[in-house]
Structure 1
Amino acid sequence: MSKKITEKKPSPITAILKKATLYLYLLVISVSYFSTYPETYDEKVFLGGDNAAYYLLGKAIADGEGYVNSHLLNSPAANHFPPGYSFVIGQVLKVTDGDIQTIKHLNGFFFLCVLLLIFFIARKLSKNDHLAFVTSMFLLFNMHYLMYSSIVMSEMIFAFFSLLTIFAFIQRREDIPFYKSPWFFVGIIAMIFAIYIRTQGVVFLGVWILWGIVRKNWLPMIVGVSIVVLALVPWQIRTSNLGGSGYQKQLKMVNPYNKSLGEVDFDGFLTRMGNNATRYLGKEIPNAITPRFYVNYKKDASGVVPGPTVGGYLLGSLYIVLLVFGAWRLKKWRWFMLFYLGGNLAVFLCWPDVWFGVRFMFPVIPLVTFLIFFGLFELVNIVLKMVSKNKRELAPALALLFLVFCTLHLKPYDQYKRKANSPYPLNWRNYMDLSKWAKEGIPEGSVVACRKPHLFAIESDKKVSSFRYTAELDTVLADLIDNGVTHVVVESIGFTATFKYLYPTVQKYRDKFRMIHRVDPEEILRQKNPAAFKGKNSTGAFIFEFNPNVGYFGEFDENNKRSGQGKFIRTDGTVFEGQWKDGTLHGQAAFVTPQGEKYEGNFDKGKRQGLFKYTDTTQAVYNMVFQQDTLISKTKI
């Protein structure tokens, strides 16, 4: 006959101490956050990624324009990003009448929420407040999380809704009807938000289905999936009507940054998965958990990015073993965790292998951190069980020793803190200062073509455009005209496209472009001491007014000099038309002044030479003879 085992109730003193420990840990996490966040807050607009685009889309929603690219000409409908994050930005801007700094602080708030959520998730799963505390503190000083807490990117809010979905999963009671559990609906709503913020959130839909099959919870599974799918239908219809998802199209490409390579085939897809698997194992996973582990993504002299090191493979393998062991030791939740991590891994492997870095695995870092610590903690438990009968009393508190691992974050933390409190590099500072000048310096209704157009739009509050990446400069010019461009920016922010395509176009058609402002504080020093700047590229930023209706229209030679038949229109309305050579009029040509005067004759290297027919404003006609542009005689006909 089996005996019913009852759990021994803790004494009142133990219960009080446990609750006091919980509140103490929450207080320490919160105080540590409010001490750390201001120290590492970066008020500069982040220069990479999609943060400017998210903000501009949110601003358009706040202004009542809808989910459109209001910073582009004609405000086309937006379709590249899911609308969730921009929607949240829009509502916050509308309520607070804030700016981009407001949204940066919003991400900081979500970082605090992530720290608290992972604490309660770890506490629920491990039944160990100490381990939950260590997990949150370790995450607090993770450089990647500190960085994204002040960047207007969707990673932080997506991490929040991902953890909220997981927390709702583990909080929901299965001994009552699912519709009576508020956590069921919290999980559904959080899942919908997660998918609307990043498409990666569909992993939860797969986890929900697999978990329902494993637990045989058929009705909750079917109802939950149905609600989520119905919630996603409006967005899918809109996406389909706009020609499909931009991200889905990028997934099919060999390289989204080089569309000429076309779509990836089956063999190429397998190669992509292999490249991603080795890189995640040896680079992303070690660096995501311990940013102190340096990862090199820079190309060497031969143009190749170095692969993972042996140390990277070993550390990555150790982390994977610990997190899988930790997930397995969760017993009831082992399959949930393995489904979730496995689903995310499948997504990571499918990304184009030119998309590298930890940002894609950002939302799983808190859970992976916990599972690694829990796996290590369980190993300690096993050892203690073998050597001591008092392991239950010793093991929980021993988790606090894991705080020593926070020292691994000290170096990258200090490096990031210095970076956050430093100004932009000079070339970027000049570019951003030029965009601020453009807010008042160029007319309303202007359209500016430049690199990083979204960044330029934030400070300038002007319509922006990119430019065509092609060596066919006529095509670049035609594209500027088609996009209604009124100004172009030539900068030195380190991208080759400007000096490969845009600046050569400005040089070739230089009479259509007039520089109206420059931000180049080194220019005076360069003029005073040119030797000191020898071999050093300019850091300046320059804005040109573009007038497609003036300048040269015609043929060029192989050196992009005017050559052959062509017409040149000055800004004052004077028109030169005829034969050109080496950039000047040479041969039979004519020019007409704005007043209606007309000269017809032969030009020699840009100068009038020989007999000319001249018609004045009264239509009187004269014969004129010129010698190297000097009038020799004039006879009325």
Structure 2
Amino acid sequence: MLANHHKFQSAIILLVAAIAFMVIYNQVFDGKLDSNGDNASYYILGKALANGNGYVNINNINKEANNHFPPGYPVIVSGIIKVFGDSPENLKIANGLFLLLTLIALYFLIKHVTNRESAAIIALLLVIMNSHLLRYSTIIMSEVPFLFFSTATLLAFTKINYQKPPWKDVYLYIVIALLTISFHIRTSGVALIVGILLFLVISRHWKHVAIITIILLLLAMPWQIRSQSLGGSSYIKQLKMVNPYRPELGKANFKDYFSRFGNNINRYLSREIPTATLSITQPNYRQAASISEWLYGIFFFAVIIFGVLNLKKYKLLIFTYLAGTLAILSLWPDVWIGIRFILPAIPFLILGLVNGLQELLIRITPAPVSKYVIWLPVLLIILLFPNIKKMKQQAKAEITTEWANYFSLAGWVGDNLEENTVVACRKPGLFYMYSNCYTVNYKYTPVAQDFINDLVIKHVDYVIMDQLGYSSTSRYLYPVIQNNPEKFELIQERSKPSTYLFLLKD
């Protein structure tokens, strides 16, 4: 009878949470194509798979095999395209559904590890109101699907029965399947694998360690073999560079890695962890972190760690996962700033924050009162409403004139030039989606002749010079066009700000 009551209560809580999420999601849903570029790449790869072209860049005239993005999310995209058509809006909505499914898995996971319904409810509300999670659930990116599969992995892991032989435990195989999917959606899923294996090693469950390790290696091998046959992982190559956006600076040395580690830890502690978790402020990366940001960030992080270490169950599992995630991110190139890379960890940071605040309140209040004051963290939701309002405004806003001009030229190319035209531009995936012509990026080199030779090798017919704000345009493209006017003929222009389409002459 009591079990049925708890099931009914959980069902009501999840129903209310789902309704709240759908209401907010509908208000902040942005139908515009995001300008980050990777979303277009995922769409292109998914469309290639759906059309039977294989895992290739169909926007490239040579249909070259893609070796940058893991195949997991493009496979999901291809399935959606096959069933529902190739409208980008369908893919956006699918990511919203992935976040909704994540909420369900999170509720049961948090309730299990905290042994408190209040913690699960408060954390769920903070996740629903988190502007970063909401934003990524409305764009065609892999973070939210990865969040669902990684959360489902952790939930399934808590169901493993160590009293029975591991090869007879169905949950172990569910965990392995979900781990495999997670890793093939985002390479950073290795943090999840490391976190789980560390938990098992410290807990001395050696048979589980052996089974998971062997099966995962076998399942990961095909993609790794393919990757090596195509020259190795592009992520590893970028990791070894001083700056992926300035290849002329060469490979990073020990001093560069040490500096990168310090810069990343500085940024994550003082800014990105607090901002990601509560999404209250927007950091100003043009300025160094202030003393107040540092003090707030350290206190904030301390509460999260305190909360994780005081979980009733599986504290080691959550801790090792978060530690593995931060360890990997600390070695990422420090020019990759922003919330994106830490986004899949946000619900677990929220879990640590809520449990930490509740544990502190329990310790400083008398026992009869503590069962009421543990609900106080729910007041944090009040701080999140301004961001929801801002997201509503952004969803209704028009795209900036810089991007409008860029897409206008893409449309002109699609309407007026031959189908096999090759255009060199920044964000070639996005240009392809509006022009349906072949696109490539130009080479990031300050040597003009190398730049031009690369255009010839790539069979480039036209070049776009944009005003999107990327430093590569002014650093590499503009000087070449300015100093070699005989090579570039102006064909089309959009003004305010000026955006140009040049013909590359022989």
TM-score (norm 2): 0.94
Q: Which one of 339, 351, 355 corresponds to residue 374 of structure 1?
A: 355
Any conservation in 1 of the 2:246–2:444 contact (CA below 8 Å)? no
User: Hey, what does 2:244 align to over in structure 1?
Assistant: 256
Any conservation in 2 of the 1:279–1:307 contact (CA below 8 Å)? no
Q: Does 1:362 align with 2:350?
A: no
Aligned partner of 2:377: which letter?
A: F
Distance of 1:509 and 1:269 partners within structure 2: 38
User: Hey, what does 1:246 align to over in structure 2?
Assistant: 234
SS of residue in 1 equivalent to 2:141 = coil
User: Hey, what does 2:254 align to over in structure 1?
Assistant: 266
- Percent identity of paired positions between Structure 1 and Structure 2: 34
Q: Does 1:488 align with 2:463?
A: yes
Distance of 2:163 and 2:113 partners within structure 1: 18
Q: Does 1:337 align with 2:338?
A: no
Any conservation in 1 of the 2:37–2:430 contact (CA below 8 Å)? no
User: Hey, what does 1:76 align to over in structure 2?
Assistant: 64
Any conservation in 2 of the 1:493–1:539 contact (CA below 8 Å)? no
Any conservation in 1 of the 2:260–2:330 contact (CA below 8 Å)? yes
User: Hey, what does 2:161 align to over in structure 1?
Assistant: 173
Any conservation in 2 of the 1:488–1:544 contact (CA below 8 Å)? yes
More strand by share: 1
User: Hey, what does 1:603 align to over in structure 2?
Assistant: none
What are the within-5 Å matches in structure 2 for residues 190-201 of structure 1? 190-201=178-189
Q: What is the CA-CA distance between 1:423 and the residue it aligns to?
A: 0.9
Q: Which one of 361, 376, 390 corresponds to residue 415 of structure 1?
A: 390
Q: Does 1:93 align with 2:51?
A: no
Q: Which one of 399, 406, 415 corresponds to residue 381 of structure 2?
A: 406
User: Hey, what does 2:421 align to over in structure 1?
Assistant: 446
What are the within-5 Å matches in structure 2 for residues 424-439 of structure 1? 424-439=399-414
Q: What is the CA-CA distance between 1:452 and the residue it aligns to?
A: 1.4
Q: Does 1:498 align with 2:470?
A: no
Q: Which one of 100, 125, 130 corresponds to residue 118 of structure 2?
A: 130
Of 185-194 and 490-499, the range deviating more from structure 2: 490-499
The number of equivalent residue pairs is 506
Q: What is the CA-CA distance between 1:44 and the residue it aligns to?
A: 1.1
Q: Looking at both structures, which has the greater relative contact order when contacts are Cα pairs under 8 Å and sequence separation is at least 6?
A: 2
Q: Which one of 305, 308, 320 corresponds to residue 289 of structure 2?
A: 308
Any conservation in 1 of the 2:425–2:440 contact (CA below 8 Å)? yes
1:495–1:349 Cα change, 3 Å: closer
Aligned partner of 1:345: which letter?
A: L
Any conservation in 2 of the 1:468–1:479 contact (CA below 8 Å)? yes
Any conservation in 2 of the 1:54–1:85 contact (CA below 8 Å)? yes
Distance of 1:336 and 1:497 partners within structure 2: 42
Q: What is the CA-CA distance between 1:49 and the residue it aligns to?
A: 4.8
1:475–1:115 Cα change, 3 Å: same
Distance of 1:254 and 1:499 partners within structure 2: 20
Of 265-274 and 231-240, the range deviating more from structure 2: 265-274
SS of residue in 2 equivalent to 1:412 = helix
Q: What is the CA-CA distance between 1:513 and the residue it aligns to?
A: 4.5
Distance of 1:125 and 1:497 partners within structure 2: 47
SS of residue in 1 equivalent to 2:223 = helix
Q: What is the CA-CA distance between 1:89 and the residue it aligns to?
A: 1.0
Any conservation in 2 of the 1:73–1:463 contact (CA below 8 Å)? yes
Aligned partner of 2:106: which letter?
A: I
Q: What is the CA-CA distance between 1:209 and the residue it aligns to?
A: 2.4
Aligned partner of 1:408: which letter?
A: L
Q: What is the CA-CA distance between 1:430 and the residue it aligns to?
A: 1.5
Any conservation in 2 of the 1:47–1:455 contact (CA below 8 Å)? yes
User: Hey, what does 2:94 align to over in structure 1?
Assistant: 106
SS of residue in 2 equivalent to 1:345 = helix
Q: Does 1:324 align with 2:305?
A: yes
RMSD over aligned CA atoms reads 2.1
In structure 1, stretches of 5+ residues that fail to align are: 1-11, 299-305, 521-537, 549-637
Q: What is the CA-CA distance between 1:501 and the residue it aligns to?
A: 4.2
Distance of 1:348 and 1:469 partners within structure 2: 25
Q: Which one of 153, 161, 167 corresponds to residue 141 of structure 2?
A: 153
Aligned partner of 1:543: which letter?
A: L
Any conservation in 1 of the 2:111–2:119 contact (CA below 8 Å)? yes
Of 154-163 and 168-177, the range deviating more from structure 2: 168-177
In structure 2, stretches of 5+ residues that fail to align are: none
Aligned partner of 2:403: which letter?
A: W
Provide, for residues 582-629 of structure 1, a one-character-per-residue CA deviation record: whole Å limited to 9, x for no partner: xxxxxxxxxxxxxxxxxxxxxxxxxxxxxxxxxxxxxxxxxxxxxxxx
More helix by share: 2
Aligned partner of 2:293: which letter?
A: G
SS of residue in 2 equivalent to 1:260 = helix
User: Hey, what does 2:504 align to over in structure 1?
Assistant: 546
Q: What is the CA-CA distance between 1:503 and the residue it aligns to?
A: 4.7
SS of residue in 1 equivalent to 2:502 = strand
Q: What is the CA-CA distance between 1:377 and the residue it aligns to?
A: 1.1
